[in-house]
Structure 1
Amino acid sequence: MGEERVIGQPRPIRDAASKVTGRKAYVGDMSLPGMLVGKLLLSDRPHARVLSVDTSEARTMPGVHAVVTWEDCPDVRYNSAQRMIDAQVPLTERVLAREVRHVGDRVAAVAAETEEQAMAALRAIRVTYEDLPAVLSIDEALAPGAEPVHGTSNVVGVLEKGDKDIEAHLAACPHVVSGSFSTPPIHQGAIETHCAMANWSEEGKLTVITPCQNSFAYRVILAQIFGLPLNRVRVVVPAIGGGFGGKLEMTIEPVAALLSRKARRPVKMVLSRKETIMATRVRHGSQSRVRMGVDDQGKLLAIDVDCETNTGAYAGSAFNVAGALLENPFQLYKAPYVHVRVRPVYTNTVPGGAMRGYGGPEVYFATECMVDRAARAIGADPVEFRRENIIAPDSLNEEGVPRGNPRPADCLERASELIRYEEERRAKKPGDDGGRFAWGIGVAVGSHGNNCHGVHRDVASPMIKMNEDGSAVLYTGSHEMGNDTLGTQAAIVSEVTGVPLDQVGIVASDTDTVLWHIGDYASRGTFVICAGVKRAAELMACELRREAAPLLGCDSSEVVLRDGRAMRGDGVPEVTLREVMIHCQAVTGRELCVHVTYEAPRGVCSYGAHAALVRVDRQTGEVRVERYVAVHDVGHVLNPLMLEGQLEGGIAMGLGYALSEQVSFGPDGRPVQQTLGRCGMPRATDMPLDLRTDFVCADGGEPDGPWGAKALGESPVVPVAPCIANAVSDAIGVDIHDLPMDPARVLEAMGRGEES
């Protein structure tokens, strides 16, 4: 984009060395003086009323300092996904349950000197239940006469957008294709399980240390539960050992706080993998019905999507995920008539929460599979059909607002080139003549937003302080998610102010020391947060130029900041930033500290096109991805090394979603998959040996983005499953309706006969 010295250069993530050497401190590594071990007693019933909890024996056991049940909790309902203090959201959850609504619901907790003592106390607790009818799937929950999980209906609400006359528009289309699809809940799979430390001071202040993605939101919820003003709740986020959305909603933090308050000691809780799967969050399962209308020339005329999402036992992010899903069918194609309806549904299963893509993988699996079917309905090639219907850079959204600089068409062209689409369509492969193996090629396109513009306030509030030696400190509410969010922000400060990158310190995600931040989600890290940091750095650069000008004998507009120095435009003379700051303190008599509150100026989407070549074993049903290509529109590449890793990680996550991952529930409501091995996440050996990635940066990038940049973030996972499903359908001649496409499901599909 210009002559950037830091931005655009490949850099390892800021904390890479401490991670690979094992020196990085995670919450599970930390301790406080006098700290106790907290443990949870989880429900073994999918739906039951808690009649009594006998804790008498547990309270007297050695080392036990606190035992709590619902009777010890504040009688406060909350929403674990609440973002802001004034948010209007369904309040369905309590710290500990009076009525358990899924296997893994929280019944009681203990705090003891050691883990062994805490576990012994849990075993001594006796719970008497009155079992209630349970609904374990969306269909069961919607059946007439189904037991309501909450209130009188299992439908949390209805979200609807688009053309209300969609039936008439579909009826007028020369060709209409339709299909039904389902996606399962899956586990986020972060290496670090859920954990938290809580401590009440003698003055009544609660401090919670937790690897969450939303520290200020957690502060709001904790304050509401315990009836505290916000100045008496502090949330600190150290390293996060993986989140992927799973640590966006609050789970065990109020339990740790309750135990700490009762024991009058710090308490740390670390869940096992089984507990994390049973007692925290999963990706929403979904079922969708999609109809598309096209004309004889291949123009996509109408899209109708009707979807239910499984929000599980509590409302949490029911409306948030459904709302994000609702927007996706409007973002990619030029169809004049689009209608979407989404209904989040309660079931007696693990609550659905945030996971990378946030509704996008669910709906794009359905719609992108249907695009292939629509193309076949008129005898068109799937890539050519997309070319004709995909949005252009100068297009307007459904509300008549310019989209910015969307480049999905460029991504599609580059992906087709890298996969050698035309060549592979014509090529014959071993087994194509009806032998054991079938080969297929597939494509899919997807999008993901970059912020929450139009949904709720979306601001970043970075602050930068100069030190007297010319180094700087960035104060940011952002959380380091493992994708070098903080390192990129530091690089922006360095680029703009001239402070060397290794002299930019960071204070992050501590509600007592940084300004308000809405959280790290919605792929807003680049387009909003980094843009805000750039704005703050520009203000600091103005201050530095103002201070340096008298030392250089020139106007401030002539001062250039670079490599820890300030110089006149021609490079002579020059002074160090240390000298500038000493002058600032000793002569001008002021300190340099700036902050901004930067608001997302508009909604914007990132796009990606994926292509896959697969081999299907007709005897076993095994799908092997032989070659995979992913090309993404990111406006401008801020750090190519980080983006490549992020894109490859998203592909791996999408491969698991497509081929092997799920969390299913037995007739007793228990999750069948309770370990990482059984969850079906792909290993390194499952990745395609031929994996190619690229990025599209065109015409100055995305307006309003820092240097034209916008997010990669969540978008890499979105097109993967439909891309592979379309390739499998191409190979076996049968449409794929359900995820995951494991061998049993592929064999079942082939048993249905020729459909495509």
Structure 2
Amino acid sequence: MPPGYWRRRKVSAYKYLGKKIPVIDAAQKVTGQTRYTDDLKLSGMLYAKVLFSPHPHARIVAIDTREAEALPGVRAVATYRNTSQVLYNSTTRFLLQDPLILTERIFDQTVRFVGDRVAAVAADSLEIAGKAIRLIKVEYELLPYYLDGEEAVQEGAYPIHPQGNLALEVVQNAGDVDKAFAEADYIFEDRYTTPPVHQAALETHTAIADFGATGKLTVISSTQNTFGQRIVLSKIFQLPMSKVRVIAPPLGGAFGGKIEAIVEPVAAALAILCHKPVKLTYNRKESMISTRTRHGSVTYLKTGVMKDGTIIAQDFKVITNTGAYAASASNVIKAMSNKVFGSYKIPNMRFIGRPVYTNLPIAGAMRGYGSPQAYFAQQCQMQKIAKALNIDPVKVQMKNLIDPDGVDPRNQKPIGNPRPKDCLRRALELKKNWPPLDDENGEYLIGEGLAIGMHGNSAYGAHTDQTSIIIKVHDDGSCILYTGTHEMGQAALTLQKQMVCEVLDLPWEMVDVVAADTDTCPWALGDFSSRGTFIGGYAAKEAAEKVKARILAEAALLMKEDQGQLVLENAAVRSWQSGRSVSLPQVMDHAQNVTHQEIMVTHTYPTPGGPGSYGAHIVRVRVERQSGVAEVTDYIAVQDLGTVVNRFSCEGQVEGAIQMGMGYALYESLNFDERGKCTNSNFRKYKIVNATQMPRIQMDFIEEYEPTGPFGAKSLSECALVPSAPAIINAVSNAIHQEIHDLPYRPAGGR
């Protein structure tokens, strides 16, 4: 194949790429055949329930489990007294290279939030386990507590952890910020806040653990990080990794909330105690109070601007509320610090980020991973700047947005092939299609808003990011793709299969996929950081290219022709020179019986870069004058994603991002009373956007080849979320003629 062949091809020339191909498990899902973790039942399986702390901060003085243990059908009761006390971090990704803060235990003598784990029971039935939990008697010594991050780091604050309440501080700089502020014509300073929110995956957290007679721990889990789970469980229980197996069936959604080890260590501890399989499934309330949330944040944003709208300096000071334990605190704040440098040509920038421990539920990963909080502040202030200078917000954006040859101001390195300006131009074209909004009675205020968003591709820059793929060719030429990628509704397995079929030119039904099993699949970092297509897809593409080369080499021996004259197409090898062809079964028969080899390839792809994906969103809202309630009526989303791999998947990801962003902007917030108890831990009180509330949506994609992506593709799903909330808030702000600094928007009782 000539150099640059793939790059020169247009999407329309591909057989599988760019098409509307249904996800590979769509039929099973809609017919109820897909078996999720909670659908599984092992022989002799027990059921678990967890006792949660009713206090925000307390030391367990005494715990009496005798009545629970005496209850017929109870097989094990786990507390801090009879389980591993190894400190760990639930988001661990590498055995030796993760510089993470270790603050967690399965059970601790100190509980640090309402919903912290106190004990767990394994019993013959869920009902018995629930009854046993209520029989456990606990005496607590109450300790000082903090719900607000800024209060928790005041001088003299009681330490939630021995090292204090500041988890860490991250500082990033470009240029001379203070000098630039002194030279600016105008200075804008604002404070913005975002709340903790729930990922709201349809499937709650669940795990089945089994500790067999061979001493091997097997965990079947709704996780999006099987290999990370294996490391955490290996460390906690002091088992070699060969004695820990983690399997992830298809997930019913995750959105980042299932990256970390949460229910898995508890199920494993109980399985080890009773030597029987144990299932632990959280209900909705338990998932909302005791798993992970998005980080709440306070952002102090200072921006220096010239009279013509040129931004010359920007300073972020961010406090994130990381809750009771470190978990993803360091990773999220570092990711946030990197992403704010990626969208604009601002020569002087500073970011200071401080994750703070409080006595709220643990904050972790959620779609966007730090970008939504930072871009909410930045994009809302961009609109304020435009208004103050009496310049069209579009002109302010276009003057400052990064160009395709743009660089990171910190190190002057290229940022891939960024196309936010193209996104904004296309969004403005689509806006011409908006129908007029009729309001004959003057009941509504109408507003429009726009926002730009950016998200990275992979964890490149933070640490090594790579994925391995195995492709095995069967006797008939069909293949199995073994991947560590997880299926959680994002269609990553489908996209990887598309790339393999494209390279090998095989019929769709001739490629099968086996995924997310640490014993049978090759290593992968996990499904987060927008890496499933960008890195997993590239690994699959290159693995398929190696398989193709092996097939052609074998066919050359069989056909006694030069390999360079052979082409693999339609499950056969054909010679350009002679016109002769052989079938794949013939090639495989030759490999087995003549050259005596199996055609199986293991390939590892470490990404050489982490470009940005970009989006421009324009929104129209109407706000009811009497109530102040806002309704999103029209929505435009244009995303820069390099190459559309699967149009069905892309459209679905954008629609889902809009739905999630609407919730973040207008409705969603985990609320807590004065003692840290969540007051809306169910879907009756925690409002998420439903189908009837969705607006008219127009979307499009900017397809400009990204050299570091597979077939030129970049990520989409997280980036599409980032501009959604600020675009909506800017529209509401324009409608009501008031600045909005806090999410979610709360109507003031009419306008």
Q: How far apart are the structure 2 equivalents of 1:665 and 1:149?
A: 18
Question: Aligned to 1:38, which of 48, 54, 60?
Answer: 48
1:729 match: secondary structure: helix
Q: Which residue in the other structure is 1:402 paired with?
A: 414
CA shift for structure 1 position 500: 1.8
Q: Which residue in the other structure is 2:186 paired with?
A: 175
Q: Tell me: CA distance 1:489–1:163, structure 2 relative to 1, closer, same or farther (3 Å).
A: closer
Describe the superposition over 1:504-529 as per-residue Cα deviations: whole angstroms up to 9, x where unpaired.
11121111112221111100112211
Q: Percentage identity across aligned positions?
A: 44
1:382 pairs with 2:393: yes
1:386 match: secondary structure: helix
Q: Which residue in the other structure is 2:611 paired with?
A: 604
2:594 match: secondary structure: helix
Q: Which residue in the other structure is 1:48 paired with?
A: 58
Describe the superposition over 1:581-630 as per-residue Cα deviations: whole angstroms up to 9, x where unpaired.
11211122111011111101112110000000111112101101110000
Q: Which residue in the other structure is 2:16 paired with?
A: 6
CA contact (8 A) 1:73 1:96 kept: yes
Q: How does 1:99-498 map to 2 (within 5 A)?
A: 99-163=110-174, 165-398=176-409, 399-420=411-432, 430=439, 435-498=442-505
1:731 pairs with 2:742: no
CA shift for structure 1 position 664: 1.3
Greater Cα shift, 553-562 or 650-659: 553-562
1:710 pairs with 2:714: yes
Aligned partner of 2:118: which letter? V
CA contact (8 A) 1:175 1:295 kept: yes
2:451 match: secondary structure: strand
CA contact (8 A) 1:199 1:267 kept: yes
Q: How far apart are the structure 2 equivalents of 1:571 and 1:7?
A: 30
CA contact (8 A) 1:274 1:674 kept: yes
Aligned partner of 1:696: which letter? I
CA contact (8 A) 1:431 1:437 kept: no
2:481 match: secondary structure: strand
CA shift for structure 1 position 552: 4.0
CA shift for structure 1 position 571: 8.9
Aligned partner of 1:544: which letter? I
Q: How far apart are the structure 2 equivalents of 1:716 and 1:571?
A: 50
Describe the superposition over 1:376-403 as per-residue Cα deviations: whole angstroms up to 9, x where unpaired.
2221110111011101001122211122
Q: How far apart are the structure 2 equivalents of 1:595 and 1:234?
A: 20
Describe the superposition over 1:632-690 as per-residue Cα deviations: whole angstroms up to 9, x where unpaired.
000000111111011111110011000000101111211111112322110001110x1
CA contact (8 A) 2:85 2:108 kept: no
**Would you identify which runs of 4 or more consecutive aligned residues in structure 1 move more than 4 Å?**
none
CA shift for structure 1 position 428: 8.8
Describe the superposition over 1:16-67 as per-residue Cα deviations: whole angstroms up to 9, x where unpaired.
0000001100010001111000110111111110111100011111101101
Unaligned runs of 5+ in 1: 751-756
Aligned partner of 1:441: which letter? E
Q: How far apart are the structure 1 equivalents of 2:623 and 2:477?
A: 61
2:210 match: secondary structure: strand
CA contact (8 A) 2:206 2:279 kept: yes
Aligned partner of 1:430: which letter? D
1:547 pairs with 2:558: no
Q: How far apart are the structure 1 equivalents of 2:159 and 2:556?
A: 71
Q: How far apart are the structure 1 equivalents of 2:164 and 2:184?
A: 36
Q: Tell me: CA distance 1:77–1:571, structure 2 relative to 1, closer, same or farther (3 Å).
A: farther
Aligned partner of 2:457: which letter? N
Q: Which residue in the other structure is 2:624 paired with?
A: 617
Q: How far apart are the structure 2 equivalents of 1:115 and 1:523?
A: 37
Aligned partner of 2:700: which letter? D
CA shift for structure 1 position 142: 2.7
Q: How far apart are the structure 2 equivalents of 1:451 and 1:703?
A: 15
Q: How far apart are the structure 2 equivalents of 1:506 and 1:403?
A: 33
Aligned partner of 2:608: which letter? P
Unaligned runs of 5+ in 2: 1-8
Q: Which residue in the other structure is 1:636 paired with?
A: 643
Q: How far apart are the structure 2 equivalents of 1:365 and 1:96?
A: 36
Q: How far apart are the structure 2 equivalents of 1:341 and 1:76?
A: 32
Aligned partner of 2:18: which letter? G
Aligned partner of 2:627: which letter? T
Q: How far apart are the structure 2 equivalents of 1:143 and 1:571?
A: 81
Describe the superposition over 1:685-706 as per-residue Cα deviations: whole angstroms up to 9, x where unpaired.
1110x111110013xx101211
CA shift for structure 1 position 481: 2.1
1:573 pairs with 2:577: no
1:658 pairs with 2:662: no
Describe the superposition over 1:434-483 as per-residue Cα deviations: whole angstroms up to 9, x where unpaired.
x4321111100010000111111101110111001111111111111211
Q: How far apart are the structure 1 equivalents of 2:387 and 2:182?
A: 19
Q: Which residue in the other structure is 1:692 paired with?
A: 698
Greater Cα shift, 157-166 or 252-261: 157-166
CA contact (8 A) 1:97 1:105 kept: no
1:562 pairs with 2:569: yes
Q: Tell me: CA distance 1:571–1:697, structure 2 relative to 1, closer, same or farther (3 Å).
A: farther
Q: Tell me: CA distance 1:471–1:152, structure 2 relative to 1, closer, same or farther (3 Å).
A: closer
Greater Cα shift, 343-352 or 676-685: 676-685
CA contact (8 A) 1:183 1:739 kept: yes
CA contact (8 A) 1:472 1:499 kept: no
Q: How far apart are the structure 1 equivalents of 2:620 and 2:238?
A: 57
1:676 match: secondary structure: coil
Q: How far apart are the structure 2 equivalents of 1:75 and 1:733?
A: 55
Q: How far apart are the structure 2 equivalents of 1:113 and 1:473?
A: 39
Paired positions, count: 739
When the two chains are superposed, the root-mean-square deviation of aligned CA atoms in Å is 1.6
Q: How far apart are the structure 2 equivalents of 1:571 and 1:264?
A: 65
CA contact (8 A) 1:63 1:112 kept: yes
Q: Which residue in the other structure is 1:502 paired with?
A: 509
CA shift for structure 1 position 153: 2.6
CA contact (8 A) 1:445 1:609 kept: yes
Q: How far apart are the structure 2 equivalents of 1:704 and 1:578?
A: 35
2:209 match: secondary structure: strand
- TM-score normalised by structure 2 residue count: 0.96
Q: Which residue in the other structure is 1:520 paired with?
A: 527
2:234 match: secondary structure: helix
Aligned partner of 2:124: which letter? E
Q: How far apart are the structure 2 equivalents of 1:85 and 1:679?
A: 38
- TM-score normalised by structure 1 residue count: 0.96
Q: How far apart are the structure 2 equivalents of 1:19 and 1:417?
A: 37
Describe the superposition over 1:409-439 as per-residue Cα deviations: whole angstroms up to 9, x where unpaired.
0000111111239x99xx896379xx43211
